[in-house]
């Protein structure tokens, strides 16, 4: 496991913990607020609305009692009409009052003792019993006795009922005020808790963000160090490769080249000593030609492995030499175009540019299936641009990501501080563009 793996796992665990804590705080906050709002809704529905309906029924009862009081006053003060004439009015009021009492009993909110409930019901019943006796006296023609009952009994009972209803209205008002205070307390409590939960959630988010930022910074530092080590390793590997190729090229050029040169000289001298027109002289000449061909191949291979011309003549002349050599070696046609001023570049960077060109043309010959390629070299005050284009099969995504040659080209582009792109031209195929700043 890489050194950054434990840090990445730790950052992931910390991020998950922070996320869980934040979600738990949000869920708890939502649950608490929902619960409080449900209680508030129930309080407003069960208490405030019922208290309002109860007060309306009590006002209806009080209005009926006031109607009875006015009727009894008229019955005492007016002697032109018989008392029995108020029977229908009292019947309507009695029916409305009993209906109001039933409705009030169903929606009553204020806490009442059984004695209070029994007192109100019995008082109303006794009042109507007294009214019935009063009308009985009136039907019997004893209006004075009936009026006396109104003065002595009915008015007192009506006043007592009005007082009881007034007390109930006062109790309802007190209950309504208490409900309003409870609602206000709930709102205040919910507001406080919402601020507390919000603060806790923000703290959790802040701590999680700080942790993620710290972990990311640590990971980025490790990735930067790892990238630097990878780049150093790539540079060492490429340097070692170039050193090995240079050594092999030197050995081929110096050792095998000298041996083949010596063989050619010896064969030429031996051929001179052979009789003219003899088979031996012909065979020696053929062997000498083979040795010269081998010498040329060894020198070409030596230049391919490590072009010494790059150190002597520079990148321009090296590419001028390499393009026709690659045409013969790879078996494809190469159209070469150079624009701009002469390329000025140190040998270490020039080697990387040359290797990118070499690898790109090898890919054209091996993978594209195209019979022709285009090489364009441009140099200006801003830097150098090298393009290799073909109209073959093109690169697929897997080859672009994992191909060893492409990876090496990317590494070489990074080592010279440049940028390399693998594009698909309009005519199809592949366009490799290397850009190196001056």
> Looking at residue 416, what is its pLDDT?
83
DSSP 80: S
Q: Are 369 and 413 in contact (CB under 8 A)?
A: no
> Looking at residue 266, what is its pLDDT?
78
What is the distance, to the nearest Å, from the Cα of residue 133 to the centroid of all Cα atoms in its chain? 85
Please work out, in degrees rounded to the nearest 5, the angle formed at the alpha carbon of residue 432 by the alpha carbons of 430 and 437: 160
Q: What digits encode the pLDDT tens for the residues 127-161?
A: 899 999 988 988 888 888 888 888 888 888 889 88
> Looking at residue 67, what is its pLDDT?
92
Rounded Cα–Cα distance for residues 11 and 29 (Å): 27
Please work out, in degrees rounded to the nearest 5, the angle formed at the alpha carbon of residue 411 by the alpha carbons of 406 and 415: 145
pLDDT over 60 (residue 7): no
Q: What digits encode the pLDDT tens for the residues 213-233?
A: 887 788 888 888 887 777 777
For helices 279-305 and 155-251, give the axis angle rounded to 10 degrees: 150
Rounded Cα–Cα distance for residues 272 and 97 (Å): 153
DSSP 427: T
pLDDT band at 252 (very low <50, low <70, confident <90, very high): low
pLDDT band at 3 (very low <50, low <70, confident <90, very high): very low
Rounded Cα–Cα distance for residues 204 and 210 (Å): 10
> Looking at residue 42, what is its pLDDT?
67
Is beta strand 333-340 parallel, antiparallel or unpaired with respect to 430-437?
unpaired
**Which of 82-86, 139-143, 325-329, 374-378 has the largest mean confidence?**
374-378
> Looking at residue 402, what is its pLDDT?
57
Q: Are 4 and 219 in contact (CB under 8 A)?
A: yes
Closest to 432 (Cα-Cα) out of 389, 374, 398, 403: 389
- Which percentage of the chain shows pLDDT scores above 70? 83
pLDDT over 70 (residue 303): no
Mean pLDDT of 261-289: 74
Mean pLDDT of 398-421: 78
| Domains of the chain, earliest start first | 4-212 (1.20.1330), 307-437 (3.30.565.10)
DSSP 153: I
> Looking at residue 253, what is its pLDDT?
62
Could you give the residue ranges of the DSSP H alpha helices within 344-425? 347-363, 397-402, 404-415
Lowest mean pLDDT among 7-11, 68-72, 183-187: 7-11
Rounded Cα–Cα distance for residues 166 and 59 (Å): 9
Give this prediction's pTM: 0.48
Please work out, in degrees rounded to the nearest 5, the angle formed at the alpha carbon of residue 345 by the alpha carbons of 343 and 349: 125
């Amino acid at each position: 496991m890489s050194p950054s793996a434990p840090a990445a796992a730790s950052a992931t665990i910390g991020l998950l913990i922070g996320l869980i804590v934040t979600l738990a705080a949000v869920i708890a906050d939502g649950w608490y607020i929902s619960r409080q709002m449900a209680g508030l809704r129930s309080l407003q529905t069960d208490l405030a609305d019922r208290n309002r309906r109860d007060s309306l029924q009590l006002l209806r009862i009080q209005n009926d009692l006031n109607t009875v009081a006015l009727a009894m006053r008229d019955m005492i003060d007016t002697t032109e009409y018989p008392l029995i004439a108020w029977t229908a009015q009292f019947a309507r009021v009695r029916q409305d009052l009993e209906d109001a009492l039933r409705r009030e009993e169903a929606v009553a909110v204020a806490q009442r003792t059984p004695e209070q409930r029994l007192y109100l019901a019995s008082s109303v019943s006794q009042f109507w019993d007294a009214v019935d006796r009063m009308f009985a006296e009136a039907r019997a023609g004893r209006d004075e006795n009936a009026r006396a009952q109104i003065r002595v009994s009915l008015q007192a009972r009506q006043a007592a009922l009005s007082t009881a209803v007034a007390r109930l209205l006062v109790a309802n008002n007190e209950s309504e005020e208490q409900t309003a205070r409870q609602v206000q307390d709930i709102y205040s409590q919910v507001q406080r808790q919402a601020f507390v939960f919000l603060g806790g959630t923000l703290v959790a988010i802040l701590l999680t963000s700080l942790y993620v930022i710290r972990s990311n910074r640590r990971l980025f530092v490790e990735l930067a160090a790892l990238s630097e080590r990878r780049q150093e390793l790539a540079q060492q590997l490429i340097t070692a490769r170039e050193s090995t190729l240079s050594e092999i090229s030197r050995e081929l050029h110096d050792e095998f080249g000298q041996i083949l040169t010596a063989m050619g000289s010896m064969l030429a001298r031996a051929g001179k000593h052979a009789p003219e027109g003899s088979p031996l002289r012909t065979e020696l000449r053929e062997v000498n030609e083979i040795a010269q061909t081998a010498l040329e191949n060894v020198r070409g291979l030596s230049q391919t492995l490590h072009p010494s011309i790059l150190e002597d003549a520079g990148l321009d002349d090296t590419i001028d030499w390499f393009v026709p050599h690659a045409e013969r070696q790879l078996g494809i046609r190469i159209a070469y175009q150079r624009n701009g001023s002469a390329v000025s570049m140190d040998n270490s960077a020039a080697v990387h540019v040359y290797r990118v060109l070499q690898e790109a043309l090898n890919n054209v010959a091996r993978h594209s299936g195209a019979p022709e390629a285009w090489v364009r070299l441009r140099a200006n005050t801003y830097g150098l641009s090298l393009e290799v284009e073909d109209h073959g099969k093109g690169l697929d995504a897997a080859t672009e990501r994992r191909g060893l040659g492409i990876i090496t080209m990317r590494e070489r582009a990074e080592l010279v501080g440049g940028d390399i792109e693998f594009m698909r031209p309009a005519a199809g195929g592949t366009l490799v563009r290397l850009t190196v700043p001056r």
